[in-house]
Structure 1
Amino acid sequence: METIHILIADDMEAHRRRLERIIASEKDLVLTASAKSGYEAVALAAVKKPNIVLLDIEMESQMAGIKAAAEIHKILPDTKIIMLTIHQDNNVVFAAFQTGIVDYLIKSAPKEEILEAIYSAANNQSPIRPIIAEKIREEFARIKKSEDHLTGFFKVIATLTPSELEVLKLLCKGLKRKEIAEERSVEMETVKKQISSLLKKFDRRNTKEIVEVVNELKLFDMIRDIS
């Protein structure tokens, strides 16, 4: 088996020493560097180019490890990053995976589990752990809901008259009813009727809700460019 070069990053010396001992116990594992902060981890990774990085989440700041992981992934996309954490916080762990890490471990994990994670990462066989699988399912559900919402909005937009579409564009720009009337050179009553029609078609209680959804679904640019 080829030698696996590992970088450790943890602000607690006791944790670093333990990981160093674990690495030293295996003939095909080599410690290339040991960092005390996220900043050091990025700098040392750029110079040493390790195969594996064991990276603590919380160092000089609460999210230092996550920021470091994102930077290391940009510089060394082939380097496998395993995140180390004290608390198994679902949202934090999922945020870490979004930076490109391949696995995560509780710091107190047994030696055997740490070694298994290292070898699995080196062989591109890191498992999808239960927390991450659940988060992925939740994310897909959110995306599906967003897509359904987007489809519904497109259907409504297709039913808008040119005048209603123009009013919607102006609402998205932040104009008030009086300003819209002046901009379009129409009576205030006409604008009120068009807004009332928009509320009915979009099934919303007020224009603020419509604008919020348009912005949330990133439709603003599309609406702005429609003639």
Structure 2
Amino acid sequence: MSATVRLLVCDDHAVVRAGLLALLASAPGIEVAGEAGSGEEAITLAARLRPDVVLMDLQLGDGIDGIEATRRITAASTATRVLVLTTYDTDADITRAIAAGATGYLLKAERAEELFAAIHAAAQGRTALSPPVATRVMAQMRAPAPQLTDREHDILAQLARGHGNREIARALFISEATVKTHLGRIYAKLGVDTRAGAVATATERRLLH
């Protein structure tokens, strides 16, 4: 018989957490070690409780989001896996979560048995993806790499360093308006709508040197 999986649940909605805890109470081989209502609390509890798996929502209200919490938790301990459980299945969210170190990505529409199986899989280091998410990941892998210009590569590199538009403009000797124009083209080519999404997708597709 496999060892019991110690689980930390992170969701900013108390009612959702209560529902998950009630559901998980019937899960064979799963013990809820703690619950968190924010990304910051999840990081603190993960360090203290050292769970096998953190069940992580992406949207956590004020404070850091589930992506950043995932990044910090997985960076602090290779023994703790993060399994995303969310209603969002955009390419940008999936890419960012995987780049942050998430072992799996589930949608809240999944059946209880599939959630339980995914938790056990994550605890063993195996990838667990909802079917719609797996389809999106495969489509991304099959898609040809976006063709970025040299200038767009330069701007991406600046984004990865955390630079704002003004800093990028100064570094590359171009106007802020030109930076914004290039960013719009980069977002369109990568299929994202945020700076963080652009960096995560570029990293995932090895477009950053």
* TM-score normalised to structure 2 length: 0.64
Contact 2:82 2:103 (8 Å CA) reproduced:
yes
Displacement of 1:218: 8.1
Match of residue 133, structure 1, among 131, 134, 138: 138
Q: Could you tell me which amino acid in structure 2 is paired with residue 86 of structure 1?
A: T
Contact 2:40 2:64 (8 Å CA) reproduced:
no
Match of residue 142, structure 1, among 142, 145, 156: 145
Residue 105 (structure 1) aligns with: 106
Q: How does 1:161-176 map to 2 (within 5 A)?
A: 174=173
When the two chains are superposed, the root-mean-square deviation of aligned CA atoms in Å is 2.8
Q: Quickly say closer, same or farther: Cα 1:173–1:12, change in 2 above 3 A.
A: closer
Contact 1:38 1:60 (8 Å CA) reproduced:
no
Residue 164 (structure 1) aligns with: none
SS in 1 for 2:17: helix
Residue 17 (structure 1) aligns with: 18
Q: Quickly say closer, same or farther: Cα 1:134–1:48, change in 2 above 3 A.
A: same
Q: How does 1:1-227 map to 2 (within 5 A)?
A: 1-61=2-62, 64-127=65-128, 129-138=134-143, 141-142=144-145, 145=147, 174=173
SS in 2 for 1:131: helix
Displacement of 1:125: 2.7
Q: Quickly say closer, same or farther: Cα 1:174–1:39, change in 2 above 3 A.
A: closer
Which digits, 9 at most, give the CA deviation of each residue in 1:197-218, with x for residues without a partner?
xxxxxxxxxxxx9xxxxxxx88
Residue 165 (structure 2) aligns with: none
Which digits, 9 at most, give the CA deviation of each residue in 1:86-127, with x for residues without a partner?
222221121111001011111232211111111111223324
Counterpart Cα distance in 1 of 2:12 and 2:70: 15
SS in 2 for 1:71: helix
SS in 2 for 1:142: coil
Higher RCO (CA 8 Å, separation ≥ 6 residues): 2
Q: Quickly say closer, same or farther: Cα 1:29–1:135, change in 2 above 3 A.
A: same
- Runs (4+) off by over 4 Å: 172-175
Number of aligned positions between the proteins: 153
Which digits, 9 at most, give the CA deviation of each residue in 1:111-149, with x for residues without a partner?
1111111111122332452222222334xx327x56xx8
Q: Quickly say closer, same or farther: Cα 1:103–1:62, change in 2 above 3 A.
A: farther
Counterpart Cα distance in 2 of 1:173 and 1:48: 46
Which digits, 9 at most, give the CA deviation of each residue in 1:170-194, with x for residues without a partner?
xx9759xxxxxxxxxxxxxxxxxxx
Q: Could you tell me which amino acid in structure 1 is paired with residue 10 of structure 2?
A: A
SS in 2 for 1:98: helix
Higher share in helix? 1
* TM-score normalised to structure 1 length: 0.59
